[in-house]
Amino acid sequence: MEKIPPEIFLEICIHLYVKDLYTLTLVCKLYRKILWTKAVSIQKVWTCSRVLSFDPILPYPSLPPSKFMSEQEYIWFTLLADKCSICKIKIEKKDLFGCRYWEFSRFCCKECIERKTVSISYIKMTMPNLPKELLECLPYHKRDEKLYWSDDLHSIKAKYYSFENKHERDNWVKEKKEEVNEFMDEIYKYKWQDQYVYFFPYAFNV
């Protein structure tokens, strides 16, 4: 790397497909440090790589990253992840879209999503005194009923009860609600993008 000017290195990276660019981050710590930063110039490198990697018939993901994700995270989540983030089991290509949970920013197999989430009915049964407003501070996945990530629920519950000052707690709740509402609105278009590709007959043949 010492012999390659930075601008030449980045120019080379721009012309790599995402899998090759990701492989490059594994070559050495220096490459990883450079290519995993959130600097504007590096984000552009990953954007170019993502566009270069588009399938000509079914360009995916065509949307730019969510404001809650960097290009690197977005590319990994949509194009490179093929193992459950919890149990690390390999997921078949035909099941990939069903394992991408935008609400939790996690890629999970069916077994782990069942194990790591709790339903609204379960919460009401096991935590009857849980403040209703607390659930409004958490993103959820809607299936037959709302599902919440269990660890996130316990974490935010602990934070909620850590406030001694009611005014501070109320302000925190208000901010979290606004943050979650913005997040849920934001990810809707990405879920729609996935659904579009999932129902496209060509999707599983590429």
**Mean of pLDDT values over 167-179:** 96
In the prediction, which pLDDT does 128 show?
92
* Burial class, 133, CB count within 10 angstroms (exposed 0-12 / middle 13-18 / buried 19+): middle
Instruction: Confirm whether 194 is domain-assigned.
Output: no
**Percent of the chain scored above 90 by pLDDT?**
77
Instruction: Confirm whether 164 is domain-assigned.
Output: yes
Q: How far apart are CA 60 and CA 44, in angstroms?
A: 17
Contacts of 15 (CB under 8 A, 6+ apart): 48, 52
52-110: pLDDT as tens digits: 998 877 788 989 999 999 999 999 999 999 999 999 999 988 888 889 999 999 999 99
Instruction: Confirm whether 11 is domain-assigned.
Output: no
Instruction: Confirm whether 76 is domain-assigned.
Output: no
Show the domain range for 159: 113-183
Total domain count, the chain: 1
Written as one letter, the residue type at 120 is I
Whether the link from the prior residue into 61 is cis, omega within 30° of 0, is yes
In the prediction, which pLDDT does 55 show?
82
Instruction: Confirm whether 126 is domain-assigned.
Output: yes
Instruction: Confirm whether 40 is domain-assigned.
Output: no
Instruction: Confirm whether 191 is domain-assigned.
Output: no
pTM for the structure as a whole: 0.84
Instruction: Confirm whether 48 is domain-assigned.
Output: no
